[in-house]
Amino acid sequence: MRTHAQDGRPRRARGLVPVIQLLALVAAPVAGAQSASQGATLFTQRCATCHTVGEGDRVGPDLHGVMERRDEAWVTRFITSPGAVIDEGDPVANALLKQFNGIRMPDQQLAPEELGALYAFFRDCAKKGPGGCKPSPAAKMGTDATSEEVARGRRLFEGTEALAKGGPACFGCHDVRGLGVAGGGTLGPNLTFAFARMGERGMRPLLAKLDTPMMAALYAKAPLEEEEQYALKAYLADVSRDGSKPRTDRDFFYLGLVGMLAVLGFMGVAFNAHTKRGQP
């Protein structure tokens, strides 16, 4: 006959309860870390254009410590419908509107689990301190680059500055607008508008992984360092700014001109040599 505890549950089943609770406690930090990591990715994709976490104000406020400064319900209302919160006369929302020159944040369509991951990221950053969630160099926005960073990206692209791990320069396979007289290679696509087409979301993982069939073979043992990824992204963002179509005949014209001059020079040398041999 099975014995029961006073609460009616078998003793064996009751003995499993502490084990289940222990497993839940062990799994909780792992789940929290995964959620914060997902929130970090979401922040980079959806928020980093206008906000930072611990690096100061941008278009909007620095969000470091936002979950400690504001009630979570208020943060949720403001993220999902900031215009409505402002128009209701909320004093905090209107103070932020005034502080940031009347720029209104657009509504963000985020699922509850996405909001939860974002909040986990904010709280994790608050625990780490102001510099704890500083993004990697590659995570910075390409459009925020300085002229020096853009110039370095061009040098890396055209090969006048070597890549740290010995990978080949991009111009061997790709061309962009204004790259020298003869331009770059044609084995890969022209990258003049690559950043405009792909944006931050597409360009960042492409430079980090370099996993297309051709690039995987070339860079498997020579990946780009994060600073190199950013410099190249900054350069491609810069050349994308001009929306006019690149000239497709430029390379052929200059190559033909250079070739013609070389032939004429050779003919002149040969003629002078022949003339000298014919002299007494």
DSSP letter string, 86-105? HHTT-HHHHHHHHHTTTPPP
- Given this model, what pLDDT does residue 144 score? 83
Superfamily holding 142-246: Cytochrome c-like domain (1.10.760.10)
Segment 88-105 mean pLDDT? 95
Average pLDDT along the chain: 80
Nearest to 61 by CA among 30, 18, 95: 95
pLDDT at 53 over 60: yes
The C-alpha angle 128, 76, 30, rounded to 5 degrees, equals: 40
* pLDDT > 70: percent of the chain: 74
pLDDT, tens digit, for every residue of 188-204? 999 999 999 998 889 98
Q: Which pLDDT score is estimated for 15?
A: 52
pLDDT band at 232 (very low <50, low <70, confident <90, very high): very high
Q: Distance (Å, rounded) from C-alpha 67 to C-alpha 70? A: 5
- The percentage of residues in the chain with a pLDDT greater than 90, rounded to a whole number, is 50
Token pair of 229, please? 């990824």
CA neighbor of 127 nearest in space, from 74, 55, 44, 68: 68
Q: What is the pLDDT of residue 258?
A: 43
Mean pLDDT of 30-38: 69
Q: How many residues does the chain have?
A: 280
Q: Is 53 left (phi over 0), alpha (psi -120 to 50) or beta?
A: beta
Predicted confidence band at 139 (pLDDT cuts at 50, 70, 90)?
confident
Q: What are phi and psi of 4, to 5 degrees?
A: -125, 150
Q: Two tokens at 18? A: 């502490």
What pTM did the predictor assign? 0.54
* Chain centre to alpha carbon of residue 276: 65
Q: Which pLDDT score, from 0 to 100, does residue 46 have?
A: 85
Pick the CATH number of 23-134 from 1.10.240.10, 1.10.760.10, 1.10.645.10, 1.10.10.10: 1.10.760.10
Q: Residue 72 pLDDT more than 90?
A: yes
Domains 23-134 and 142-246 share a fold: yes
Domain boundaries, the chain: 23-134, 142-246
103 against 10, higher pLDDT: 103
Say how far apart CA 113 and CA 117 lie, in whole Å: 6
- pLDDT, average across residues 221-229: 93
The confidence score (pLDDT) of residue 7 equals 54
pLDDT tens-digit profile of 143-183?
A: 888 999 999 999 999 999 999 999 999 999 999 988 766 67
pLDDT at residue 253 greater than cutoff 60: no
